[in-house]
Amino acid sequence: MRAGVAGGVLSTLAVAGASASSANAAEPVTQTIELPTLTADLAAQVAQSAQATQLAAVDYELQAERDAAAAKAAQQAKADLAEAKKKAAEARKKAAEDARRAAAERASRSTERTTLAAAATASADTSTSTSTATGSAAAVVSFVKAQVGKAYVSGATGPSAYDCSGLVQTAFKQVGISLPRVSQDQSTAGTQVSLSNLQPGDILYWGSAGSAYHVAVYVGDGMFVGAQNPSTGVVERPLSYDPPTGAVRVL
């Protein structure tokens, strides 16, 4: 009986040991893996990298803006250059036209002076009436010649200074003729006469009749006396010096 009990106990222990061995053999082995810790240096590097990326993005944006501005400036410069060339061409064209017009006017004026001088010379040679003043005309001529050398002052009517119409008005007042005060009116005060048929005492005018800007007195022999300007004062000059536009006769 003891032998049977002992055998049963040993069998039970054997079975239990085998079961324990099987249980130990089947239990899994657990291994712990440690991840690297984010250190302060690594964090700083990451921050620097992010900042560098941001700065690069800003640089790219600024460069793009500069490129766009440069392109716009180049386009504007091209447009400005084209406009400048256009204006320069127009200015050259206008200057050429002005030069041609001035040359034509000079040629026309020169022709007028030559014609007038020739007419005055021919008149002096063929008619004593154009060179010798008589009566009231002689008095007017004598008066204006006596004023030669006196000053030109705008608005003056003598006796020490005159303007152009003031001299003419005062000269004719010497013979009892009352003339208008200004050149425009004096240029229509008498009968219009041809410049090729002038007589001493005729009033010469520059500009058109009714809107003349200067007057003087024809004194014969192709000469006139007038208060020209502040620089020259009252002078005696040949008609060719400054050919008048027309003349009127009041005597």
84 within a domain of the structure (yes/no)? no
67 within a domain of the structure (yes/no)? no
170 within a domain of the structure (yes/no)? yes
Quote the radius of gyration of the chain (alpha carbons, Å): 59
pLDDT in tens, 223-243: 999 999 999 999 999 999 999
**Which SS3 state, helix, strand or coil, does residue 236 take?**
strand
Does the pLDDT at position 218 exceed 80?
yes
pLDDT in tens, 97-125: 788 777 777 766 666 555 555 555 544 44
161 within a domain of the structure (yes/no)? yes
pLDDT at 117: 55
Provide CB contacts within 8 A for 169, sequence distance 6+. Answer: 157, 179, 180, 181, 186
Which of these, 153, 148, 218, 162, lies nearest to 190 by C-alpha position?
218
Residue 93 Cα distances to 16, 149, 247, angstroms: 126, 45, 39
pTM assigned to the model: 0.51
| Residue 139 structural domain | 123-249
For tokens 């009566």, name the residue. 135
1 within a domain of the structure (yes/no)? no
Provide CB contacts within 8 A for 143, sequence distance 6+. Answer: 170, 171, 174
What average pLDDT does this structure show over 129-154? 90
Q: Would you state the structure tokens that stand for residue 72, as one six-digit string?
A: 């716009």
228 within a domain of the structure (yes/no)? yes
Q: Residue 181 maps to which CATH number?
A: 3.90.1720.10
155 within a domain of the structure (yes/no)? yes
Look at the chain and report how many structural domains it folds into: 1
Paired strand residues for 157: 162
Estimate the crossing angle of helix 135-146 against helix 164-173, to 10 degrees.
140
139 within a domain of the structure (yes/no)? yes
